[in-house]
Amino acid sequence: MMFKSAAFFALIPALTALALPHPQPKPARAPGHISIPLRKREVGSGLGRRGNGNSSSSPSISNGTIDLFDWQETRWVGYIDVGTPPTTFTINFDTGSGTLFLPGLDCGNCTGHHQWDPKTSSTAKNTGKNTTSAYADGSQVSGAVWTDDIYLGGYKIQNQTILVADTYTEDFGFASDPSDGLLGLGFPASSVNYTDSAFFNLVNQSGSGLPEPVFAFYLSNQGSELTIGGTNKDLYTGNITYAPVTGAVKQIWEVEVDKLTLNNQTILSNFSGIVDSGTTAIRANETLVSAFYQSINGTSLGGGSFVAPCDQLAEQQISFIIQGKEITMSFESLNLGTFSAPNGTLYCLGGVVGDAGLDVDTWILGDVFMKNVYTIFDAGKARVGFADLATSVDSL
Ligand SMILES: *[C@@H]1O[C@H](CO)[C@@H](O)[C@H](O)[C@H]1NC(C)=O
Ligand SMILES: *[C@@H]1O[C@H](CO)[C@@H](O)[C@H](O)[C@H]1NC(C)=O
Ligand SMILES: *[C@@H]1O[C@H](CO)[C@@H](O)[C@H](O)[C@H]1NC(C)=O
Ligand SMILES: *[C@@H]1O[C@H](CO)[C@@H](O)[C@H](O)[C@H]1NC(C)=O
Ligand SMILES: *[C@@H]1O[C@H](CO)[C@@H](O)[C@H](O)[C@H]1NC(C)=O
Ligand SMILES: *[C@@H]1O[C@H](CO)[C@@H](O)[C@H](O)[C@H]1NC(C)=O
Ligand SMILES: *[C@@H]1O[C@H](CO)[C@@H](O)[C@H](O)[C@H]1NC(C)=O
Ligand SMILES: *[C@@H]1O[C@H](CO)[C@@H](O)[C@H](O)[C@H]1NC(C)=O
Ligand SMILES: *[C@@H]1O[C@H](CO)[C@@H](O)[C@H](O)[C@H]1NC(C)=O
Ligand SMILES: *[C@@H]1O[C@H](CO)[C@@H](O)[C@H](O)[C@H]1NC(C)=O
Ligand SMILES: *[C@@H]1O[C@H](CO)[C@@H](O)[C@H](O)[C@H]1NC(C)=O
Ligand SMILES: *[C@@H]1O[C@H](CO)[C@@H](O)[C@H](O)[C@H]1NC(C)=O
Question: What one-character-per-residue DSSP string does 159-193 give?
Answer: EEEEEEEEEE-HHHH-TT---SEEEE-S-GGGSGG
Higher pLDDT pick, 35 / 10: 10
Fold equal for 43-210 and 236-389:
yes
* Residues in the chain, total: 396
Contact 8, 31 (CB under 8 A): no
Section 59-78 average pLDDT: 77
214 pLDDT above the threshold of 80 = yes
Across the range 196-221, mean pLDDT stands at 94
Q: What are the extents of the domains in the chain?
A: 43-210, 236-389
CA of 308 to the centre of ligand 10 (A): 11
Using the mean position of ligand 4's atoms as its centre, give its distance from the Cα of residue 160 in Å: 8
Q: What per-residue confidence (pLDDT) applies to 6?
A: 43
316, burial (CB in 10 Å: exposed 0-12, middle 13-18, buried 19+): middle
How many angstroms separate the alpha carbon of residue 107 from the centre of ligand 5? 9
Residue with the smallest CA separation from ligand 4 atom 14 is 159
Ramachandran angles phi, psi of 119, nearest 5°: -70, -15
Q: What does the alpha-carbon distance between residue 169 and residue 167 come to, in Å, rounded to a whole number?
A: 6
Whole-angstrom distance, CA of residue 134 vs CA of residue 171: 12
Nearest CA to ligand 5 atom 11: 108
Residue 96 clears pLDDT 90, i.e. is over it: yes
Which stretch of 73-77, 132-136, 328-332 has the lowest confidence by average pLDDT? 73-77
Say how many Å lie between the CA of residue 225 and the centre of ligand 5.
Answer: 32
Q: How much distance in Å is there from the Cα of 4 to the middle of ligand 5?
A: 17
Q: Whose CA is nearest to atom 8 of ligand 8?
A: 239
- Say what percent of the chain tops pLDDT 70: 82
Q: Is 123 in the pocket of ligand 1 (CB under 6 A)?
A: no
Angstrom distances, CA of residue 181 to CA of 92, 93, 141, 263, 380: 6, 9, 10, 39, 26
Q: Is the pLDDT of residue 9 over 80?
A: no
pLDDT tens-digit readout, 176-204: 678 899 999 999 998 877 778 999 999 99
Rounded to an integer, the average pLDDT of 262-285 is 96
Q: Is residue 176 within 6 Å of ligand 1 at its C-beta? A: no
Can you tell me the distance from the alpha carbon of 148 to that of 100, in angstroms, rounded to the nearest whole number? Answer: 11
* pLDDT > 50? residue 164: yes
Select the highest-mean-pLDDT range: 51-60, 107-116, 207-216.
207-216
| Residue 336 and residue 294 in contact, taking contact as beta carbons nearer than 8 Å | no
Model confidence band, residue 112 (pLDDT cutoffs 50, 70, 90): confident
Instruction: Give the closest residue (by CA) to ligand 1 atom 6.
Output: 63
Rounded distance between C-alpha atoms, residue 42 and residue 172, angstroms = 31
Residues 345-375 have pLDDT tens digits of 999 999 999 999 999 999 999 999 999 999 9
Pick from 283, 285, 362 the residue to mutate for probing ligand 12's pocket: most ligand atoms within 8 Å of its CB. 285
pLDDT cut 90: percent of the chain above it: 68
1 has pLDDT over 90? no
CA separation (Å) from 221 to 76, 233, 316, 352? 9, 19, 22, 18
The average pLDDT across 111-125 equals: 93
Nearest-angstrom CA–CA distance, 308 and 98: 35
pLDDT tier for residue 135 given thresholds of 50, 70 and 90 = confident
Instruction: Give residues with Cβ within 8 angstroms of 97, minimum separation 6.
Output: 1, 2, 133, 135, 182, 184, 186, 190, 191, 252, 278
DSSP-assigned beta bridge partners for residue 360: none
Q: How confident is residue 393, by pLDDT bands cut at 50, 70 and 90?
A: low
Please work out whether the CB of residue 312 comes within 6 Å of at least one atom of ligand 11: no
Which mutation among 239, 325, 388, 389 tests ligand 8's pocket best, with the greatest number of atoms within 8 A of CB? 239
> Does residue 146 contact residue 126 with C-beta atoms inside 8 Å?
yes
Q: Whose CA is nearest to atom 10 of ligand 5?
A: 169
In 3D space, the residue among 148, 153, 147, 160 whose CA is nearest the CA of residue 209 turns out to be 153
Ligand nearest to the CA of 59: 1
Cα–Cα dist 77/94, whole Å: 10
Instruction: Tell me the average pLDDT of the chain.
Output: 84
Among the residue ranges 209-218, 250-259, 387-396, the one predicted with the least confidence is: 387-396
CA distance 200 to 186: 9
Q: Which fold has domain 236-389?
A: Cathepsin D, subunit A; domain 1 (2.40.70)
Q: Is the CB of 140 under 6 A from ligand 5?
A: no
- Residue 268 pairs in a beta bridge with 260
Minimum CA distance residue for ligand 6 atom 1: 193
The terminus-to-terminus CA distance of the chain in angstroms comes to 25
Q: What is the CATH number of domain 43-210?
A: 2.40.70.10
Q: What is the pLDDT of residue 191?
A: 84
The DSSP code sequence of 79-147 is EEEETTTTEEEEEEEETT---EEEEBTT-SS-TTSPPB-GGG-TT-EEEEEEEEEE-TTS-EEEEEEEE
* Least confident segment among 129-143, 173-187, 314-328: 173-187
172 has pLDDT over 90: no
44 CB less than 6 Å from ligand 1?
yes
> 52 vs 246, which has greater pLDDT?
246
Per-residue confidence (pLDDT) for residue 308, from 0 to 100: 97
Whether residue 15 has pLDDT greater than 80: no
Rounded Cα distance between 4 and 174, Å, is 10
Mean pLDDT of 195-222: 93
Note the pLDDT tens digit of each residue in 145-158. 999 999 999 999 99
Residue-level pLDDT at 62: 58
Catalytic residues: 94, 276
DSSP letter at 392 equals T
**263: confidence class by pLDDT, cuts 50, 70, 90:** very high
Please check whether residue 15 is in contact with residue 291, taking contact to mean a CB–CB distance below 8 angstroms.
no
CA angle in degrees (0–180, nearest 5) for 121-172-97:
80
The model's pLDDT over 319-330, given as tens digits with 9 standing for 90+, comes to: 999 999 999 999
User: If you measure from the C-alpha of residue 297 to the centroid of ligand 10, how many angstroms do you get, rounded to a whole number?
Assistant: 6
- Ligand 2 pocket: which of 49, 50, 52 to mutate (most atoms within 8 A of CB): 52
